[in-house]
Structure 1
Amino acid sequence: MLVVNRFRLRGEDTDGGAGDDPQQFLHEATTALEALGACAGFRTGRIARAVDEPETWLMLTTWDNVGSYRRALSNFGVKMCTPFLGRAEPEASGFEVLASSDGPGGPRLLDSDLAGEGS
């Protein structure tokens, strides 16, 4: 399972405030990634910034399955990161992988974990 959380940092505030500091954002993101990484079923995590839109950031995590991800959201350490995670854009974030390619040989199709779905 892939979880894609997209974030948009605010530039300078119009009222003269500092807006979002990319270094502070990266610190909060790595703290959240560390909390998620301590949970059962976590595989990998990445934090990235868009090359052409530096105010757009992404946190990508991979999980054994949807259940492990959902259980991680109940973990105390992850709940402490809720203010940060709540800043993610309001869009679909959980995706099941239905085809995968790890190199030569072409993609392979995978079975769906959703009830009533087949590959």
Structure 2
Amino acid sequence: MSDILDHVLALIRYTVPEARSQEFLKQGQEIIDVLAAQPGYLRGRLCRSVDEPNLWALVSEWEGAGFYRRALSAARMAMYPLMILMVNEPSAFEDVYVSGRDE
């Protein structure tokens, strides 16, 4: 069995008013850059809902939950300005089944 099942998907959703979307995009990119410099980081992206343009997601993948939690501490200052826009819900999900092609 592959160790990919040890990976963690982190999904932080944000509700962003249209007037703040460009500012949010810039700050989201900065957060991903900070996260990318942390141990255990695999990949990340900033996404916007095609059905609800005010709903955004910062998605990252990690080698494990511990890496993700430590990275959040490192990125705290970059994330702080956007905290008011965060949807309050759990953000870390462990893989239990994976199907598809590796990139």
AA aligned to 2:76 is K
Structure 1: runs of 5+ lacking an equivalent: 12-19, 104-119
Pair 1:100–1:85, CA change in 2 (3 A): farther
Tell me how far 1:10 sits from its aligned partner.
Answer: 2.6
Answer 1 or 2: which has greater helix percent: 2
Comparing both chains, which one has the higher relative contact order based on Cα–Cα distances under 8 Å and sequence gaps of 6 or more? 2
Structure 1 stretches of at least 4 aligned residues deviating more than 4 Å after TM superposition: none
Alignment identity in percent?
Answer: 33
TM normalised by structure 2 equals 0.83
Who is 2:65 aligned against? 66
What's the secondary structure of 1:80's corresponding residue?
helix
Tell me how far 1:53 sits from its aligned partner.
Answer: 0.8
CA distance in 2, matches of 1:94, 1:85: 18
Number of positions where the alignment pairs a residue of Structure 1 with one of Structure 2? 93
Who is 1:55 aligned against? 54
CA distance in 1, matches of 2:21, 2:79: 19
CA distance in 2, matches of 1:82, 1:88: 10
User: Whose Rg is larger?
Assistant: 1
Tell me how far 1:58 sits from its aligned partner.
Answer: 0.7
AA aligned to 2:47 is A
Structure 2: runs of 5+ lacking an equivalent: 1-7
Tell me how far 1:79 sits from its aligned partner.
Answer: 2.2
